[in-house]
Structure 1
């Protein structure tokens, strides 16, 4: 017969409860991961020209620019606030022009999710497009943008397009 006051039974109950709590946390964290560009918007022909036109960036650019597109009501943007601040400081130190553009419904054809970044070199050429980083919190440690900026400053244009990654992103609505 099962003795409910047994120390072994109590340990079993505690371990089962702990396993259930950990499983629930993992499930809810993983369910927050979304694909950045599941509709393959960034892979469409003429995407970069459409992006520049939409933001009015077709004029001659004379310095490398970091364009940040952020939806203020996006919980992921709130989680990435420290990263965004550090990213702007980093871009400023590297001599980049920083253009912050709030997400608007007009951008849904060129920006699949936010927070997003696009880097343009001083000649108006494509350098980087995609999310700020990957993972649950889109934190500084997994940033793509810093790498692309560092490469550009070193004289190498990586032409890095990151569309197939998962993280904390707000899918943009029409």
Structure 2
């Protein structure tokens, strides 16, 4: 078994109204702060591998004034999050900024800088509107196969 897994095999994040459904599922309430939503599965070995990166990302986000919301994968979140660990960034108006993995590659623990770059750009006034779901890395797939 390989550790390299597709993040979004079924292209769940490309579905129409995905972002709206995601916000409904997490009961998002706009608080006038940019937010980083991190979804992890405590039973996923990839979450364990990413522990250091998760702490660094949380510290980085807090330093930038971005609210961090940590969620554990649940049956209801499986409808909107294809794999974990995953991240979704929203701007202070609650608009889409980023959705995808924390990082990619074999270890997924080093941090390729996707989320950090998006947050840095957002704080500088740029919204990347980056949907990054065509990656391979250490992910635990959560979407149900039909």
TM over 0.5: yes
Whole-Å separation in 2 of the counterparts to 1:173 and 1:156 = 31
Measure how far apart 1:108 and its partner are: 1.1
Runs of 4 or more above 2 Å deviation: none
Tell whether the 8 Å contact from 1:134 to 1:143 is kept in structure 2 after alignment: no
CA displacement, residues 12-45 of structure 1 (integer Å, 9 cap, x when unaligned): xxxxxxxxxxxxxxxx6xx210000010000000
Indicate if the aligned counterparts of 2:51 and 2:109 stay in contact, CA closer than 8 A.
Answer: no
**34, 37, 42: which one aligns with 2:8:** 37
Q: Distance in 1 between matches of 2:143 and 2:34?
A: 29
Provide the aligned C-alpha RMSD in A: 1.1
Paired position in structure 2 for 1:105: 75
Is it true that 1:171 corresponds to 2:146 in the alignment?
no
Q: Which residue of 2 aligns with 1:137?
A: 107
More helix as a share of residues = 1
Residue of structure 2 equivalent to 1:77: 47
Aligned residue-pair number: 144
Higher relative contact order (CA 8 A, sep 6+): 2
* Structure 1, gaps ≥5 residues long: 1-27
Correspondence 1:91-130 to 2 at 5 A: 91-130=61-100
What TM-score do the two structures reach when normalised by structure 1? 0.80
The structural deviation recorded for 1:109 is 1.2
Partner of 2:130: 160
CA distance, structure 2, for counterparts of residue 148 and residue 61 of structure 1: 20
Give the equivalent residue in structure 2 for 1:67: 37
Runs of 5+ unmatched residues, structure 2? none
Q: Match of 1:46?
A: 17
Structure 1 distance, partners of 2:14, 2:92, is 23
Who wins on radius of gyration, i.e. which is larger? Answer: 1
Deviation of the 1:60 alpha carbon: 2.7
